[in-house]
């Protein structure tokens, strides 16, 4: 009766699962120096950039890690001192201080967008996808406007309802700011109202 049955398998093993590698282990964040919080003759800018059609392309922690680390690393390379930043799923903001040897802001952002788009497309397995739409940069020339926008960027994740307290959001500068600035600086900056700050932020 058993002669009609197929022979039993000699071995039994599950096929290995395939996983998409995100890449090598990410380097530690290249944190900037402690913030200065006064205007600079070399220029301080607030910059906002969004993905094309405001698509939620940075929709995983690994992707937001990628963009934040590239921002921090390239800012240092291009000699722009970051004083506040926030990386979200479809856009980012930062406030940066220039120096005599800073690269032009346009060159800095062009490299950031080019490199981050290539790496994001590699992770997603797509080719020739346009990631970034454009950016807007504004030079801050009044101390009040500068300090208010610092707080605006620190608090951006709260504004978008992602966290209740800014320092709980991993991809922004709030926790770094609270760790590196003096208690008096933190209290001063966080006291500035942000509800009237005009920043492109309809995401």
pLDDT tens per residue across span 27-66 = 456 555 555 545 556 789 999 999 999 999 999 999 999 9
Whether the full predicted model's pTM is greater than 0.75, yes or no, is: yes
Q: H/E element holding 15?
A: none
Both structure tokens of 18: 């395939």
Domain CATH code at residue 92: 3.30.70.1290
Using CA atoms, how far apart are residues 42 and 96, in angstroms rounded to an integer?
Answer: 11
Q: Within a domain: residue 29?
A: no
Residue 138 · residue 45 · CB < 8 Å:
yes
- What does the mean pLDDT of the chain come to? 85
pLDDT of res. 21: 45
**Residue closest to 153 by CA, chosen among 181, 113, 190, 121:** 190
Which alpha helices (DSSP H) does 27-138 contain, by range? 61-77, 105-124
In this predicted structure, the answer to whether residue 20 has a pLDDT above a threshold of 60 is: no
pLDDT digits (tens, 9 = 90+) for 174-190: 999 999 999 999 999 99
Q: Within a domain: residue 2?
A: no
What's the structural domain count of the chain? Answer: 1
Q: Within a domain: residue 91?
A: yes
Q: What is the SS3 assignment for 39?
A: coil
**Residue closest to 49 by CA, chosen among 136, 115, 131:** 136
In DSSP terms, 91 is beta-bridged to 50
Q: Within a domain: residue 196?
A: no
Q: What is the SS3 assignment for 81?
A: strand
pLDDT of res. 73: 96
Q: Within a domain: residue 3?
A: no
Q: Within a domain: residue 62?
A: yes
Q: Within a domain: residue 20?
A: no
Domain limits for position 113: 36-190
Taking the mean position of all CA atoms in its chain, how far away is CA 112? 11
Q: Within a domain: residue 198?
A: no
């Amino acid at each position: 009766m058993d002669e009609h049955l197929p022979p039993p398998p000699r071995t039994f093993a599950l096929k290995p699962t395939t996983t998409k590698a995100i890449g090598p282990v990410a380097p530690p964040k290249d944190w900037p120096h402690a913030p200065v919080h006064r205007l600079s003759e070399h220029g301080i800018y607030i910059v906002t950039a969004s993905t094309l059609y405001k698509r939620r392309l940075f929709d995983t922690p690994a992707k937001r890690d990628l963009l934040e680390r590239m921002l921090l690393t390239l800012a240092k390379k291009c000699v722009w001192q970051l004083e506040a930043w926030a990386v979200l799923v479809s856009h980012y903001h930062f406030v940066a201080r220039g120096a005599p040897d800073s690269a032009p802001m346009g060159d800095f952002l062009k490299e950031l967008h080019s490199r981050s788009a290539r790496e994001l497309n590699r992770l997603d397995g797509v080719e020739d996808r346009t990631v970034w739409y454009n950016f807007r940069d504004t030079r801050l020339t009044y101390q009040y406007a500068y300090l208010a926008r610092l707080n605006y960027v620190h608090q951006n994740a709260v504004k978008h309802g992602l966290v209740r307290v800014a320092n709980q959001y991993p991809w922004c500068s709030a926790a770094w700011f609270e760790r590196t600035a003096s208690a008096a600086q933190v209290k001063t900056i966080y006291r500035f109202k942000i509800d009237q700050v005009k920043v492109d932020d309809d995401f």
